Amino acid sequence: NQLKIRNHQIISVSDAKTLSAADSGATIYWTQSNAHDITLPAATAGLNFTFFIVAGSAHNHYIVTETDDVVYGKSTVMTTNATHDSAIQSIAKASGKDKVHIKSDATTTGGGTGDVVHVFCDESGYWFVNAELHTTGNPPASITTFQD
């Protein structure tokens, strides 16, 4: 067995961006300012991306799937208050949604500086997502990071 190491691709994004299959494996450094989306390529098994939010924003931002693809998995949103209240949204593959919504001050979505979203295609048409987010808003009772 050989261990192969290659240079890790880093893509900086601060405006609307459509990723390609060739970008798979990249780390996306996402600076959020004005509202914009990042569109994933068609979900093909093995494709994957890691999003690091470098600067959050009170504007709406989305990780969007292609027309027939869906996202599913788990999102955790925690407050920055003293008690670190949190809520979890878990979506089954059969109930997949069209996008991941990120807004730093929204109680129901979260997404600020230092947060991470992992996206992995485990089967054609399906993106598995694990999002660890925080919000500067009020403590979340329930969250809606995954949306249609």
Query: What local confidence, expressed as pLDDT, does residue 3 receive?
Result: 62
3-class state of residue 30 by DSSP: strand
Instruction: Measure the CA–CA gap between 37 and 28, rounded to whole angstroms.
Output: 13
- CB 31, CB 55: distance < 8 Å: yes
Instruction: Measure the CA–CA gap between 115 and 132, rounded to whole angstroms.
Output: 6
Distances (CA, A) of 51 to 28, 96, 144: 5, 20, 18
Query: What local confidence, expressed as pLDDT, does residue 1 receive?
Result: 55
Instruction: Measure the CA–CA gap between 142 and 42, rounded to whole angstroms.
Output: 30
Per-residue pLDDT of the chain (148 residues; tens, 9 = 90+): 566 656 789 999 999 999 999 999 999 999 998 999 999 999 999 999 999 999 988 889 999 999 899 999 999 999 888 878 899 999 999 999 999 999 988 888 989 899 999 999 999 999 999 999 998 888 788 899 999 9
Instruction: Measure the CA–CA gap between 146 and 46, rounded to whole angstroms.
Output: 21
